[in-house]
């Protein structure tokens, strides 16, 4: 939703009207009205794991009503981020011969973008290796829209302790939380000058914050950091999942990272995202099953003593940044009809 809203704001600033289509249970039901955009709801189940007949049935039930929406709204173009909810509007647009521009945030496209790739007007991608899933003439490497603040962060103060930011996203990650908890005694015994900024998500925040305070280690444990660019600016190293938004923010900020892909992500796309960053020299990758307190401690301890490696990872991450993605998407949408 964050990239989609960035493109929507760009279009609104140019005088266009933007209407979102989503579900009542999705995060769009909260974020879209807050951003001041109209939102129309549709009801659809997931398309993964239900078989081809179930997928066809789920989409077909909505096609008629969605086509009616297209007839009423008469959009000049449809912009898709490729989630399952995009299926009915994209198919309805294709039936109506309305141009479709898709932005694919992950290294491996989701099911909607894969199935409709050949009929799109344009496919905007984040990773070079994603191009093989789309017709070459339709593909452009734009990157994913990221908040502008991430591109202009200050460096940590020279005298600051080595600071590690741990985040499993706004919902948190049990794996990352438990590994951090298990590492605290090891860091305390080592005497290393390390500071932790840990976003836990709401579920475990209270217990983890109390336990961390009792260790005497430096840092903060919070359910959510309202100013995430500010937290990035303080960090020498970031430990996180490898969703599209997370890795795009790492690139924009030019931050060294350890990526722990979520093992149950659709099509294992988080692993593919992380592998792309590793190939570029921007990150280390550790499978979820191997991320323990001991591994946490060993990884951070090694990187503290190898500042040259950290610097090289930071430079490599910055080389992957793609500023201006929202503006470029808006340019394309303005010029395809």
pLDDT tens by residue, 126-153? 999 999 999 999 999 999 999 899 999 9
What are the tokens at 315?
A: 């430079």
Query: How many distinct structural domains can be found in the chain?
Result: 2
- The answer to whether residues 282 and 313 touch, using CB atoms and an 8 Å cutoff, is yes
Same domain, residue pair 77 and 169: no
Same domain, residue pair 105 and 185: no
Same domain, residue pair 35 and 131: yes
**Exposed/middle/buried for residue 197 (C-beta within 10 Å: 0-12, 13-18, 19+):** buried
Same domain, residue pair 48 and 181: no
41 φ, ψ to 5°?
-95, 145
Same domain, residue pair 66 and 173: no
pLDDT at 68 over 80: no
What are the tokens at 284?
A: 């280390």
Q: Please name which of 86, 172, 126, 139 lies closest in space to residue 273, comparing C-alpha atoms.
A: 126
CA 48 to chain centre: 20
Same domain, residue pair 34 and 98: yes
pLDDT at 155: 92
CATH code: domain of residue 93 = 3.40.50.2000
Q: Domain residues for 55?
A: 2-144+323-334
pLDDT at 59: 62
Could you tell me whether strands 122-125 and 100-104 are parallel, antiparallel, or unpaired per DSSP bridges? parallel
165: which strand partners?
Answer: 197, 238
pLDDT tens by residue, 111-126? 889 989 999 999 999 9
Q: Please name which of 260, 217, 215, 271 lies closest in space to residue 237, comparing C-alpha atoms.
A: 260
Same domain, residue pair 188 and 122: no
* C-alpha–C-alpha distance, residues 25 and 250, integer Å: 29
Same domain, residue pair 222 and 173: yes
Which of 205-214, 240-249, 253-262 has the weakest average pLDDT?
A: 205-214
* C-alpha–C-alpha distance, residues 25 and 28, integer Å: 8
Same domain, residue pair 229 and 263: yes
Same domain, residue pair 104 and 246: no
Same domain, residue pair 242 and 221: yes
Same domain, residue pair 81 and 196: no
């Amino acid at each position: 939703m964050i990239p989609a809203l960035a493109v929507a704001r760009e279009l609104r600033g140019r005088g266009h009207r933007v209407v979102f289509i989503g579900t009542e249970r999705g995060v769009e039901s909260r974020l879209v009205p807050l951003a001041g955009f109209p939102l129309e709801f549709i009801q659809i189940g997931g398309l993964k794991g239900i078989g081809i007949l179930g997928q066809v049935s789920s989409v077909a039930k909505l096609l008629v009503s969605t086509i009616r929406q297209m007839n009423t709204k008469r959009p000049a173009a449809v912009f898709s981020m490729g989630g399952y909810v995009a299926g009915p509007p994209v198919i309805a647009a294709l039936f109506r011969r309305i141009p479709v521009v898709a932005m694919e945030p992950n290294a491996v496209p989701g099911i909607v973008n894969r199935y409709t790739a050949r009929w799109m007007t344009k496919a905007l991608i984040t990773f070079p290796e994603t191009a093989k899933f789309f017709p070459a003439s339709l593909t452009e490497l734009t990157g994913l829209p990221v908040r502008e603040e991430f591109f202009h962060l200050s460096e940590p103060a020279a005298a600051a302790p080595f600071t590690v930011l741990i985040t499993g996203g706004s919902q948190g990650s049990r794996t990352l939380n438990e590994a951090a908890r298990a590492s605290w005694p090891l860091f305390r015994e080592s005497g290393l000058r390390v500071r932790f900024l840990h976003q836990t998500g709401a579920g475990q925040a209270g217990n983890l914050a109390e336990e961390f305070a009792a260790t005497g280690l430096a840092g903060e444990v919070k359910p959510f950091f309202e100013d995430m660019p500010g937290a990035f600016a303080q960090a020498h190293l970031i430990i996180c999942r490898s969703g599209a938004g997370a890795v795009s923010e790492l690139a924009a900020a030019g931050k060294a990272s350890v990526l722990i892909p979520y093992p149950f992500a659709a099509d294992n796309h988080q692993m593919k995202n992380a592998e792309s960053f590793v190939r570029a020299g921007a990150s280390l990758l550790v499978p979820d099953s191997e991320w323990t307190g001991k591994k946490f401690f060993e990884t951070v301890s090694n990187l503290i003593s190898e500042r040259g490696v950290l610097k090289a990872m930071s430079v490599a991450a910055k080389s992957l940044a793609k500023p201006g993605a929202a503006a470029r998407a808006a340019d394309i949408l303005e010029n395809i009809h």
